[in-house]
Amino acid sequence: MSDLKQKILAQVSPDLEEIETALRENLTPYLDLVRQAAGHILFSGGKRLRPLLTVLCARICGYSGNYDKTFSVIFEYVHAATLLHDDVVDGANLRRGKSAAYTIFGSPVAVLSGDFLMARALSIAAHTGRMNVINVIARITENMSQGEIHQLIKKGDLSLSEAEYMEVIRRKTAVLIQGACQTGAMIADADAAQENALSEYGFHLGMAFQMADDLLDYVSDTSSLGKAVGADLREGKLTLPVIYALEHALPQDREFMENLIQENNFSVSDFNTFKTMLNTYGGLAYAEKTAKSHVERAKSSLMVFKDSSDREILSLIADYALHRKS
Amino acid sequence: MSDLKQKILAQVSPDLEEIETALRENLTPYLDLVRQAAGHILFSGGKRLRPLLTVLCARICGYSGNYDKTFSVIFEYVHAATLLHDDVVDGANLRRGKSAAYTIFGSPVAVLSGDFLMARALSIAAHTGRMNVINVIARITENMSQGEIHQLIKKGDLSLSEAEYMEVIRRKTAVLIQGACQTGAMIADADAAQENALSEYGFHLGMAFQMADDLLDYVSDTSSLGKAVGADLREGKLTLPVIYALEHALPQDREFMENLIQENNFSVSDFNTFKTMLNTYGGLAYAEKTAKSHVERAKSSLMVFKDSSDREILSLIADYALHRKS
């Protein structure tokens, strides 16, 4: 485990334990099969980043109630719901080192259990009694569904621009993380400046997080990633390192890359050549640099808060977004 | 067109036109493909029962604002979202006489467009500014997803009881129609007696509506139904006429019926024999009688309102639930 991860966990493990309990206690389906299917994705070693952010953001805004853990599960349920649907949509077999839910329970149960998790998230959001939280959930779900479809229709499209990639990851990833942070501020009745700061923090963290995720597909290996590496390329999903490298590659290398993107299957050696090109043409470095600039903006958003251990942790989480291995 | 339908339409066609406009104006996806996929199910000749109920229930409670049509679309979007997911789940090819959306746009787009419609419904519900409406939506979506899974896991299960059937149709159908009615009362700031009366009305209407729908699979034909008749039987979906007939059939007829339920395919002549048995053993009559008693209870719930053309229409709609041909 990295030093950074250890440092974060040392501070937040009591929170994480309470979040884990809240995730179990608030699931409450009446059918055992729903508990199994939703539980399969929900209790498969997720990092609990989103609920943890809600809890930390509420705390840094002075929240003193007893419902932060309960409300925080909204964002893990929404996240798990979209993973259930995305795995069906993408036909991905592995998720966090385990078989994807739909391969065990079938697509129908996976789709409907995703719907159930989304409904539970909404029910818990309603318990906040706050219409601003409901508006956040509505904005999140509208953006995520459209971001996923946008990504889907652009698969294999070599003309995908950096701006369009940014738009897709904003919708499918950043808006949820932003909403988790903003909701923390909302339940703490934070003033507008603090709420905006945490919203900004969450947005930039989310962008960095997704870029780092996309990088992992080219710099990690299957066992530490918990899902097949090269999956993005196999699905024709263009991410920032690829977009940048394609733009800067010499014609024959560009042609090689384009062919690989449009093939469903390729050899390990072709994949390695592809990765070398991402490196040679600066795609990996560029994506890392861009992600890093979002991390810095996330951290500087925190400056409206006075120095505290909570601010320190939020700052470390932003660093971790870029340095994680899975 | 039946006299009953004509009588209803004569009174509500201006409302239906405004609902149609609201359904188009509030869809607003930024991707054309989402507009196409969601529009395919949304503008395929649905009866607009749910939004119409919201509008009529608001009016009978004295609503005088300008947003009843806008808020009414919530319930058509939720309905369309579940149809998109259900057709993927059931593998049904036909819906309202047209190809099911997933057969044209693929399951991924159908699933995600369903998610988008649900998100739009939530956004519009948030615009009511009323937490009680949000709670209704949360209750609806929790019930529907679980009701659908419940139905799914009971396919082909010959031991399905009448009580369990009732529980499934309550969740998958009645709760939505009930919520559409209740929301009408809520946006009109109706008192508790009126809100409860319309909630009761919607519940019983919804139960009758689903029982009538289940009956149509045995008493209609494909062209007037807009989907394949015998689909329930082919999927092993036990409905009230079947549950009742199985209970009362002589052993050898019961065996014939059980075999047909567990086969995916059967001849037209076997299907006709099956229908004859439903009739002989009183299954069709029993389901009709049960649906009729819900229609009566729906109508009597309306008695807290004084006589008016709106009460008359709501009453006619309850009658129509049982007499419709599709």
- Across the range B257-281, mean pLDDT stands at 92
By Cβ distance, the residue of A29, A89, A112 closest to B85 is: A112
Instruction: Walk me through the domains of chain A, giving residue ranges and CATH numbers.
Output: 3-323 (1.10.600.10)
Cα B84 to Cα B102: distance, rounded to the nearest angstrom? 7
- Least Cα separation, residue A108 to chain B (angstroms): 4
Q: How far is CA A154 from CA A161, A168, A234, B243, in A?
A: 10, 10, 14, 48
Q: Does the distance separating the beta carbons of B135 and A131 come in below 8 Å?
A: no
**CA nearest to B102 within chain A:** A89
Model confidence at B266, pLDDT cuts 50, 70, 90, reads confident
Is the separation of the CB atoms in A144 and A171 below 8 Å? yes
Q: Which of B33, B145, B148 sits opposite A149 (nearest CB)?
A: B33
- Nearest-CA distance B239 → chain A (Å): 20
Burial of A272-309, coded b for 16+ CB within 10 Å and e otherwise, reads: ebbbebbeebbbbebbbebbbebbebbbebbeebeeee
- Which of A145, A164, A186 is the best residue to mutate to test the B interface, defined by the most B CB atoms within 10 Å of its own CB? A145
Within its chain, how far is the Cα of A30 from the centroid?
Answer: 29
Residue B227 has pLDDT above 70, yes or no: no
Inter-chain contact A31–B146, Cβ cutoff 8 Å? yes
Q: What is the ipTM of this complex?
A: 0.93
Residue B273 has phi, psi (to 5 degrees) of -60, -45
Query: Which residues on chain B are in Cβ contact (under 8 Å) with A122?
Result: 122, 134, 137-138, 141
Q: Do B146 and A34 touch (CB under 8 A)?
A: yes
**What is the band of B212 on the pLDDT scale with cuts at 50, 70, 90?**
very high
Q: What number is the average pLDDT over the span B98-110?
A: 87
Mean pLDDT of chain B: 93
CA distance A35 to chain B (A): 11
Chain B closest-CA separation from residue A65 CA (Å): 21
Q: Report residue A45's pLDDT band, with 50, 70 and 90 as the boundaries.
A: confident
CB contact under 8 A, B108 and A129: no
By CB atoms closer than 10 A (0-12, 13-18, 19+), residue A75 is: buried
Please compute Rg for chain A using Cα positions.
20
**Token reading at B175:** 């709760």
Q: What is the mean pLDDT of residues A29-48?
A: 90
Q: What's the burial of A94, exposed, middle or buried (CB within 10 Å: 0-12/13-18/19+)?
A: middle
Instruction: Please tell me what DSSP assigns to residue B303.
Output: G
Tokens read off for A22:
């809240």
Residue range B77-97: mean pLDDT, rounded:
86
Q: Per-residue pLDDT averaged across B120-143, rounded?
A: 97
Closest-CA residue of B relative to A112 is: B145
Paired tokens of B43? 């503008």
A87 exposed, middle or buried (CB, 10 Å; 0-12, 13-18, 19+)?
buried
| Closest Cα in chain A, distance from residue B2 (Å) | 37
Report the percentage of chain B scoring pLDDT > 90: 80
Among chain A residues, the shortest Cα distance to B132 is held by A126
Answer whether A122 sits within 8 Å of B116, measured CB to CB.
Answer: no
With pLDDT > 70 as the criterion, what percentage of chain B qualifies? 97
Q: pLDDT higher for A101 or B251? A: B251
How close are the terminal C-alpha atoms of chain A, in Å?
A: 11
From the number of C-beta atoms within 10 Å of its C-beta (0-12, 13-18, 19+), residue B271 rates as middle
Which of A90, A123, A152 lies at the smallest CB-CB distance from B142?
Answer: A123
Q: Which of A110, A172, A118, A176 is nearest to A145 (CA)?
A: A172
Name the token pair of A151.
Answer: 């990504």
pLDDT at B9 over 70: yes
Among B34, B90, B153, the residue with its CB nearest the CB of A33 is B153
Q: Predicted confidence band at B22 (pLDDT cuts at 50, 70, 90)?
A: very high
The two tokens of residue B157 are 């299960």
Q: Please, are residues B152 and A112 in contact by the beta-carbon 8 Å criterion?
A: yes
Are A56 and A186 spatial neighbours (Cβ–Cβ below 8 Å)?
Answer: no
Q: What's the confidence (pLDDT) of residue A204?
A: 98
Q: Mutation test of the interface with chain A: which of B146, B172, B176, choosing the one with the most A Cβ atoms within 10 A?
A: B146
Written as one letter, the residue type at A54 is T
Look at A65-74, B181-190, B267-276 and tell me which has the smallest mean pLDDT: B267-276
State the average pLDDT over residues B205-225: 87
Kindly state the helix (H) or strand (E) to which residue B98 belongs, with its residue range.
strand B98-99
Average pLDDT over residues B38-54: 92
Q: Does position B169 have pLDDT exceeding 90, yes or no? A: yes
Confidence at B275, pLDDT banded by 50, 70, 90: very high
Query: Under 8 Å CB-to-CB from B289, ≥6 apart: which residues?
Result: none
Contact state of B131 with A135 under an 8 Å Cβ cutoff: no
B25 band by pLDDT with thresholds 50, 70 and 90: very high
- The one-letter code for the residue type at B54 is T
Give me the DSSP letters along A176-187.
Answer: HHHHHHHHHHHH
In chain A, the percentage of residues whose pLDDT exceeds 70 is 97
Q: Which chain A residues are Cβ-neighbours of B85 within 8 angstroms? A: 111-112, 115
Q: Is residue A307 helix, strand or coil? A: coil
> Best interface-test mutation with A: which of B34, B85, B90, B122 has the largest number of A CBs within 10 A?
B122
Tell me, what amino acid is at A160? L
Distance CA B284, CA B125 (A): 39
- Name chain A contacts of B138, Cβ cutoff 8 Å: 119, 122-123, 125-126
pLDDT of residue A264: 77
Interchain CB distance below 8 Å, B113 and A149: yes
Please name which of A58, A41, A39 lies closest in space to residue A130, comparing C-alpha atoms: A58
DSSP state of A170: I
> Phi first, then psi: what are they for B99, rounded to 5°?
-60, 140
Residue B99, beta-bridge partner list: B94
Phi and psi (nearest 5°) for B228? -65, 125
CA distance A325 to B306: 68
DSSP string computed for B40-74: HHHTS----HHHHHHHHHHHHTT--SS-HHHHHHH
CB A157 within 8 A of CB A239: no
Which two structure tokens, joined as six digits, stand for B256?
């014939």
* Structure-derived torsion over alpha carbons of residues A85, A90, A92, A97, reported in degrees to the nearest 10: -50
- Which residues on neighbouring strands pair with residue B95, listed in sequence order? B98
Name every residue in B having a CB less than 8 A away from some CB of A: 29-31, 33-34, 85, 88-90, 107-109, 111-113, 115-116, 118-120, 122-123, 125-126, 129, 131, 134-135, 137-139, 141-142, 144-146, 148-150, 152-153
Q: How far apart are CA A154 and CA A174, in angstroms?
A: 19
Q: What is the pLDDT of residue B86?
A: 87
In chain A the beta strands, taken as DSSP E runs, fall at: 94-95, 98-99
Q: How far apart are CA A160 and CA B2, in angstroms?
A: 54
From B153, A141, A125, A43, select the one nearest A35 (Cα to Cα): A43
**Mean pLDDT confidence for A72-81:** 97
Contact B305, B311 (CB under 8 A): yes
pLDDT digits (tens, 9 = 90+) for B276-305: 999 999 999 999 999 999 999 999 999 999
Between residues A45 and B178, the one the model is more confident about: B178
The shortest CB-CB distance from B149 to any of A31, A145, A148 is to A31
Mean pLDDT of A18-44: 92
**Average per-residue pLDDT in chain A?**
93
Of the partner residues B125, B135, B148, the one whose CB lies closest to the CB of residue A112:
B148
Structure tokens at B16: 């239906």
Phi-psi region of A28 (alpha: psi -120 to 50; beta: other; left: phi over 0): left
Q: Which pLDDT score, from 0 to 100, does residue B106 have?
A: 87
Beta strand A98-99 with A94-95 is antiparallel
Rounded distance between C-alpha atoms, residue A63 and residue A67, angstroms:
10
CA B5 centroid distance within chain:
17
Q: In this predicted model, what pLDDT tens digit does every residue of A85-125 receive, in sequence order? A: 988 887 777 777 788 888 888 888 999 999 999 999 999 99
Q: What is the pLDDT of residues A258-272, one digit of tens each?
A: 999 998 788 889 999
Q: Residue A95: helix, strand or coil by DSSP?
A: strand
Of B116, B134, B138, the CB nearest to A146: B116
Q: Of B283, B207, B281, which is closest to residue B242 (Cα–Cα)? A: B283
Give percent helix, percent strand, percent coil of chain B, each to the nearest 5: 75, 0, 20
- Cβ contact (<8 Å) for A126 and B119? no
Helices (H) and strands (E) in chain A, counts: 17, 2
Q: Do A122 and B122 touch (CB under 8 A)?
A: yes
Q: Rounded to a whole number, what is the distance in Å from the CA of A296 to chain B's nearest CA?
A: 30
CA distance A177 to A187: 16
Tell whether the torsion through CA atoms of A10, A14, A17 and A23 is positive or negative. Answer: negative
pLDDT at A308: 96
**Inter-chain residue contact A138 with B131, CB threshold 8 Å:** no
Residue B326 is predicted with a pLDDT of 65
- Choose between B282 and B221: higher pLDDT: B282
Q: In this predicted structure, which of A47-56, B36-45, B63-72 has the lowest mean pLDDT?
A: B36-45
